[in-house]
Structure 1
Amino acid sequence: MKKKLLSLLSVSLLLLSLPVMPASAAIPATFTVDLANQYRSVTHVASGSLYGLAGEGRPSDSLIAPTKPKMFTQMAPNGGQLPNGETVPIGDALKVAPIAARNGAAVTIRMPDIYSNFPYQWLSWADWYSKVDTMVNARLASGATNIYGYELWNEPDWTWKSAAGTFLDGWKNTYLRVKTLDTATKTIGPSYSRYEESWMRNFLTYAKANNVLPDIISWHELGNTVADTWTIKAHIAAYRQIELDLGISPRPISINEYGVPNEEGVPGGMVRYFAQFEREGVDTATAAFWFRPGRLSNIVTDAGTANGGWWLYKWYGDMSGQMAMTTPVSTSSLALDGIASVDNAKGTVHVVFGGGSGDHTIVIKGFGSVSKFSGNAHVKLEATPWLGVDTAVSSPASVFEGDYAITNGQINVPVTKMNASWGYHLTITPAAGSNNNLYEAENATVNRANLFSNASASNGKYIGQIDYNDSYVQFTVNAAAAGVYNLDVRYANGTNANSNQSLSVNGGTVATLTYPVTGGWLSAGHVGTLSTSVSLNAGSNTIRFTKGASGYTELDYIQLMPKPAYKERVEAEKAEINQAAVHDGGYASEARYVGGIDYADSYVQFTVNAPSAGTYTMDVGYANGTTGNSTHYLSINGGAASIVTYAATGGWINAVPNIGYRKILTLTVTLQAGANTIRFTKGAAGYAELDYIEVR
């Protein structure tokens, strides 16, 4: 079926001579969704957070409800926890329980948070028993119906005090005290700071022997590095084996703290946790607390708005029906992974994924098991960026829409130029779309060229052997309004040198496209994406690709998007760097930044391409953790340096305990048409870290 264009603009069809972006030559890695393997009901197990609720309006219900939280872990009733420099308590479990309830969530009571210090400052058993009695009686008096359970202690492997005896005896004493007062509410533990086989086996052996087994088993998946994410599956399997070995009935698993600090809120990192918790049957999981309370674990900005991470959780909340099995690109390294759901009644499939970079193919199979699908599937792809904790993202970016023919119960959807820190969302419905902007080459008008099939191609088909002077592939696109469009061409050039094609719009001026090599042909899965721009008339337009003067090229599809007003964002870690270092940091845009710009010859040099000569506005994302102003020297295109002054931000981007302090400085700069270099050099006063620049 011919694909139609989403909100295309119009005017004269004139090719623009903008730079062509080079292609990616790697064979796209495959991420697979099996709709026929519907393995559990959608319950949004990983959508909760630790201290995610601070009180009424912190955050607003409009931010909580769309994420469909299942459970929040919160401070004990009348607790005094003041972590990370807080000046007010961080959310009493019973006080926020009504907020959680009206948003469909349960609450865990973290009992040791009744202490004001962390690590907890033990006083005596008499004191602890008094605190336990106070907490349980408050819970009973509250009448709350959405209490998930009592977490008897938190991270006992390092917070339990030897003055209180062994933790195992402490668990038994506390368990029996709680159950004497409240037999109905479940107990949760042991809540070790990490999964350790010997700890868990010893704990369960003791608990079974003393008849004090927790109703819900818990531990934390915080990891020492992001690579530890991939141990979650092994940890759950090992735990289930202990249950079998000891003859313990299966317990619900609550991973009531998860996430490496540098990934907190970052869509491409968090979705890998979602995927493992869902596939391995975890009952609840709450994102860890590394930053500020009342912000759903870092997906709400300091101004109380959604950031890029919130949209990932919102897409998770959009899921309904049954979870569909996913197969990650790798289970031994950090790569693309995600989750999927299928609602048979609605005929809607959601796929949420991230953590990959470059080009990938999303394979969705098993459509035969979903009654509403036959013939074609309409696919919409959205993306959410990670621009830092306190950068609002008002809506995700619309990447493409298209109709895919279902062949043998399967569609193959290429996703190109992925960013590892971003999140992505496919919405798939049976109906043909009216807002498409993706055009398959096999649906175009083809002359002296041939149709081929391959799983690596979009829709499984592409056009090759465009080898003769009169060979061409002509797309008909429909523009709703006048304007300039970004044109992406997915292609293969299996020669050992650049190849050419001629491009004309509505029979007008011919331009030459140059395709870098892709290391092979589409028949072997080698593809690239070339980007340029065109100007389109209102209504119907033709875009023709003709055999060029040198080499050969195969065509898979073209994609058109209205070209926005000029804005170019360049991450500091992708700039030219001298005598400085790149660091990971969840508070930074794309989770990386440049620090250590501390020497006379330290610099960070950005390159931006301005559409014309003139004056531009430039935002600089920075941190100045000193107590006064700091400076850099700023030089544009090698010209005379000016002084940039950075006000103190109260800390560094990764200030302990990973509480970020990035701010934005807005400058006016004069640029030439085309490429410009913008260099920041260590100044005469203080120090500053750089996150990104954005020129507009």
Structure 2
Amino acid sequence: MTHAANGALYGLSDDGVPGDAALAPLRLGSVTQKPEGGQQHPNGDALTVSSAFLRNGGGEILVLGQDDYRHWPYEDLGIDDYLPRLAAIARRIAAHPQSERFVLVPFNEPDGIWYGLNAEDEAEYATGRDRFLADWTAAHARIRAVAPELRIAGPNEAAYDRRFLPEFLAHAARHGTLPDVLTWHELSPSSLAEFRAHHAHYRELERELGIGPLPVNITEYGNRRDLSVPGQLVQWVGMFEEAGVAGNQAYWDQAGNLDGNVVRTAIPNGGWWFFRWYAAMTGERVPVAPPEPDTVDALAGLASLDPARRQAQAVVGGADGAFDVVFAGVPGEVLGRTVTVTVAEARWSGYEGAHPAPRVLARTTAEVADDGTVTVAVRGAHRKSAYRVVLTPAPEGQAPPAPSVPWRDVLAADSAAVTAGTLVPEGSLTNHQGYAAWGAARVEGLNGPDSAVEFAVSVPEDATYAVSFGYGNGSGSPARQRLSVDGRPVGSVEFPATLNAGHTGLRTVPLPLTAGPHALTLAWERGEIALDRVELAPHTEPLTRYEATLADVAGDPAYRYPTPGEAGTLVLGEEDSVTFDVFAPRDGYHTVTSRGADRELTVTLHGATVPLAPGRPARLLLAAGNNRITARGPGAVAALEVAGHGETEGLAAHEAAAARLAGGARLEACEHATGGSCLAPFQGPGASATWTVRASRAGRHLLVVRYAHDDRADNGHAYNADVISRTALLRVGEGPAQRMTFRNSLSWDNFWTLALPVDLAAGEHPLTLTGPEGPTPRVDRVLLGPVVG
């Protein structure tokens, strides 16, 4: 497995955006960013984000040299203007202590920018070609002159070019200017049908010219309809992994969210979980035979076999309904004659919709057939979901009970009764820059007294249900809709702003319903939203089991599978550890219990060390989103079980109004703040807000800041939002000030949270917020609690 197709263009915007807890589990193969101080975008500087990228296991950082320019398409000031810029970029990268991890891309999409290599007129094409080849030679020479060891990538066209590429490679081979990494883009849905032929054509060119083989990076792939969608992403990643090439998702909307896969700072969506699965596929790549290869939007997958862990995995998706996943040639010496089969689903939760740990849909045992196959039936699939199928050894014996899968139903908005709204088709072959939708279309324009959407739902029993609306809100402020059941008003639902109407998120409310059919209606009250779907599921306390044998490990633990129908047990030695990625729906205390442990384990969370006795719950403070919990040996562990919605008892709240203000810091009215007021943004060396906080006991604490801001640049891009982060310094007591980077919350009235671990002695401490680097965000309040509750 190369794990190289999980990269992102402008996936990072700042050190801390996205957060380490979102980055570390994915171990990104590469990212593409702008030169330090480049003007193309307000953030995403390669050297600035390199610290976060590299400390979280990232591979290569590609730097787009032309993103030094402000305008798009880049202003053409001639090669004499560009070469000094390029030399300065190369020198700065070469001075980085890990310069070997960087690749400089001198040109970006030259087929359409500066050179017109996509011109249909042959004379016009020849003029552009000759100019580019001369400029490539000059740029290559200038980079080599100032940074001889720095790797160079190109030609980096917007599409695979059978006309130009042979001429480029022949010219570069003759002049000694071949790139170290060959790059191009695959952005159209047609690439899902054509990429394999493109790659084969390129490798044949190498053989004909006697060069290479060069590493290939598809530095932009996919479109809005693909990003964040597990069932789409598996199609792209599967073909790139099969070819052994790297790939970076395209940047269509905002920097710092891994191109649509990270909600807020460290909250996963369905796309994130797909890439988490991809990163966890250890061992050797296994060939995959899809039923319709080289077809746009069809069932696809990728697979691996790890003999050391005794695991076979397949991740598949892209099709509705029923299909079989057939493992052929199952090695008996690795998996035995009876296997445990586990099937889980990563759903599309929208670009801005949080996704808890994927549900296990089925876990059973199966006999390996005489011909060496195991056939796994997947039923009721949705084309936007990805499914992970894992085979592990099982001793022969009684099959286990099937896992309890709670009831769920999803209705697309285009199947509802719509009044005074407009159906907008989802991104398609003809509109591949359009956003994804659960069904064929979403409903927009729900912005007036007459607008309403009525869903015909049916639930199996009397219960309280979690009703989740897939929605978009591009108004810049929270919107409100009246919710009715069977014509009876039951309250209002507030919908926070999203990036735009198509950039959907999820808003979930509890709703008691009696068994049977109901009319569920949303009607306009304030603002404007778009609706994509409604989901219904029982509103129960979350309880999630995180299997140790499928988690990240360090060292050389042993894998044991003593019980049929279970995922197995991890046996940790003295130097071994296992890290679980644990989802929390909000900041608060959850109970964490070790299962299958034979002794007390040492667990680390947010820098706090906690003894975890077998079967005895610990009350731990989790931050909203992904949390990395590491257990160290010696000892055996089968799983961690994590329960709870996130209790706030034990978290001390300090409202904005309780702060002592200095140097011009002030309060302002905030309708959506907890207490009706918040700290207005402030900056400068003398401006500060100070609270007195109290630690009931010494140790590691989590400080949670509730904030809002919506800074944006005006770079004139037609599709990049150019959101900007804000920073502030927090000092607790006499300790060092710690820098916090606050991702753009998409509205001045969208209050998000950002958590910071701090060590405190018992007693009272001053907590001081300052903005020496620029204006702070709006701050509603701060919460403080010990990690171990």
Q: TM tier, shorter chain?
A: 0.5 to 0.7
1:315 alignment partner, SS class: helix
1:66 alignment partner, SS class: coil
Deviation track 1:109-139 (CA, whole Å, cap 9, x = no partner) reads 2211222333222334343222112111112
What's the TM-score, normalizing by structure 2?
0.59
Letter of the 1:319 counterpart: M
Partners of 2:397 and 2:50 lie apart in 1 by: 44
- 8 Å Cα contact 2:14-2:49 kept in structure 1: yes
Aligned to 1:166: 131
How many residues end up aligned between the 2 structures?
516
Aligned to 2:687: none
Partners of 1:188 and 1:306 lie apart in 2 by: 31
2:234 equivalent to 1:271? yes
Counterpart of 1:622 (choices 465, 471, 480) is 471
2:263 alignment partner, SS class: coil
2:425 equivalent to 1:583? yes
Aligned to 2:442: 594
Residues 628 and 435 (structure 1 numbering): CA distance in 2 closer, same or farther, change over 3 Å?
farther
Partners of 1:291 and 1:434 lie apart in 2 by: 52
Counterpart of 1:382 (choices 324, 344, 361) is 344
- 8 Å Cα contact 2:469-2:531 kept in structure 1: yes
Partners of 1:308 and 1:433 lie apart in 2 by: 35
Partners of 1:119 and 1:676 lie apart in 2 by: 52
2:148 equivalent to 1:183? yes
1:108 alignment partner, SS class: strand
Which structure's CA Rg is the greater one?
Answer: 1
Aligned to 1:689: 530
Partners of 1:648 and 1:64 lie apart in 2 by: 25
Partners of 1:342 and 1:685 lie apart in 2 by: 53
- 8 Å Cα contact 1:100-1:107 kept in structure 2: no
Q: By how many angstroms is 1:244 displaced?
A: 3.3
Deviation track 1:509-539 (CA, whole Å, cap 9, x = no partner) reads xxxxxxxxxxxxxxxxxxxxxxxxxxxxxxx
Aligned to 2:591: none
- 8 Å Cα contact 1:624-1:646 kept in structure 2: no
Of the structure 1 ranges 180-189 and 568-577, higher mean CA displacement relative to structure 2 is found in 568-577
Residues 380 and 692 (structure 1 numbering): CA distance in 2 closer, same or farther, change over 3 Å?
same
Aligned to 1:58: 17
Residues 172 and 630 (structure 1 numbering): CA distance in 2 closer, same or farther, change over 3 Å?
same
Partners of 2:56 and 2:466 lie apart in 1 by: 44
Partners of 1:591 and 1:176 lie apart in 2 by: 52
Partners of 2:27 and 2:456 lie apart in 1 by: 42
- 8 Å Cα contact 1:341-1:351 kept in structure 2: yes
Q: By how many angstroms is 1:255 displaced?
A: 0.6
- 8 Å Cα contact 1:381-1:401 kept in structure 2: yes
Partners of 1:192 and 1:404 lie apart in 2 by: 48
Residues 627 and 243 (structure 1 numbering): CA distance in 2 closer, same or farther, change over 3 Å?
closer
After TM superposition, list the pairs within 5 Å mapping 1:541-620 onto structure 2. Answer: 560-562=402-404, 564=406, 568-576=409-417, 580-584=422-426, 590=438, 593-596=441-444, 604-611=453-460, 618-620=467-469
After TM superposition, list the pairs within 5 Å mapping 1:360-375 onto structure 2. Answer: 360-368=323-331, 371-375=333-337
Q: By how many angstroms is 1:235 displaced?
A: 1.0
1:689 alignment partner, SS class: strand
2:231 alignment partner, SS class: helix
Aligned to 2:59: 105
Deviation track 1:176-202 (CA, whole Å, cap 9, x = no partner) reads 111122222221001101112112223
Partners of 2:316 and 2:347 lie apart in 1 by: 13
2:282 equivalent to 1:326? no
Partners of 2:91 and 2:304 lie apart in 1 by: 41
Aligned to 1:350: 313
Partners of 2:233 and 2:450 lie apart in 1 by: 37
Counterpart of 1:71 (choices 25, 30, 49) is 30
- 8 Å Cα contact 1:629-1:645 kept in structure 2: no
Q: By how many angstroms is 1:341 displaced?
A: 0.8
Letter of the 2:213 counterpart: P
Unaligned runs of 5+ in 2: 117-126, 428-433, 540-789
Deviation track 1:408-434 (CA, whole Å, cap 9, x = no partner) reads 211111011111111111121123499
Counterpart of 1:121 (choices 59, 69, 75) is 75
Aligned to 2:251: 289
- 8 Å Cα contact 1:353-1:424 kept in structure 2: yes
Q: By how many angstroms is 1:626 displaced?
A: 4.8
Aligned to 1:310: 272
Q: By how many angstroms is 1:160 displaced?
A: 2.3
Partners of 2:35 and 2:54 lie apart in 1 by: 15
Flag the structure with higher helix content: 1
Partners of 1:606 and 1:67 lie apart in 2 by: 37
Deviation track 1:7-47 (CA, whole Å, cap 9, x = no partner) reads xxxxxxxxxxxxxxxxxxxxxxxxxxxxxxxxxxx220202
Letter of the 1:258 counterpart: Y
Residues 652 and 138 (structure 1 numbering): CA distance in 2 closer, same or farther, change over 3 Å?
closer
1:319 alignment partner, SS class: coil
- 8 Å Cα contact 1:188-1:218 kept in structure 2: yes
What's the TM-score, normalizing by structure 1?
0.67
Higher relative contact order (CA 8 A, sep 6+): 1
Q: By how many angstroms is 1:605 displaced?
A: 3.0
Letter of the 2:187 counterpart: L
1:116 alignment partner, SS class: coil
Q: By how many angstroms is 1:240 displaced?
A: 2.0
- 8 Å Cα contact 1:94-1:139 kept in structure 2: no
- 8 Å Cα contact 1:299-1:310 kept in structure 2: yes
Partners of 1:311 and 1:353 lie apart in 2 by: 13
Letter of the 1:573 counterpart: D
Residues 46 and 96 (structure 1 numbering): CA distance in 2 closer, same or farther, change over 3 Å?
same
Q: By how many angstroms is 1:576 displaced?
A: 4.7
- 8 Å Cα contact 1:263-1:591 kept in structure 2: no
Of the structure 1 ranges 206-215 and 340-349, higher mean CA displacement relative to structure 2 is found in 206-215
- 8 Å Cα contact 1:653-1:661 kept in structure 2: yes
Residues 81 and 390 (structure 1 numbering): CA distance in 2 closer, same or farther, change over 3 Å?
same
Which aligned runs of 4 or more in structure 1 are off by greater than 4 angstroms?
Answer: 161-165, 433-437, 566-569, 576-579, 585-589, 596-603, 611-619, 626-636, 640-648, 668-672, 683-687
Of the structure 1 ranges 331-340 and 261-270, higher mean CA displacement relative to structure 2 is found in 331-340
Letter of the 1:678 counterpart: L
Residues 346 and 243 (structure 1 numbering): CA distance in 2 closer, same or farther, change over 3 Å?
same
Counterpart of 1:337 (choices 283, 300, 304) is 300
Residues 425 and 202 (structure 1 numbering): CA distance in 2 closer, same or farther, change over 3 Å?
same
Two-structure CA RMSD over aligned residues (Å): 3.4
Partners of 2:358 and 2:498 lie apart in 1 by: 31
Aligned to 2:158: 193
Aligned to 2:611: none
2:25 alignment partner, SS class: helix
- 8 Å Cα contact 1:569-1:693 kept in structure 2: yes
Counterpart of 2:202 (choices 239, 244, 251) is 239
Partners of 2:377 and 2:165 lie apart in 1 by: 43
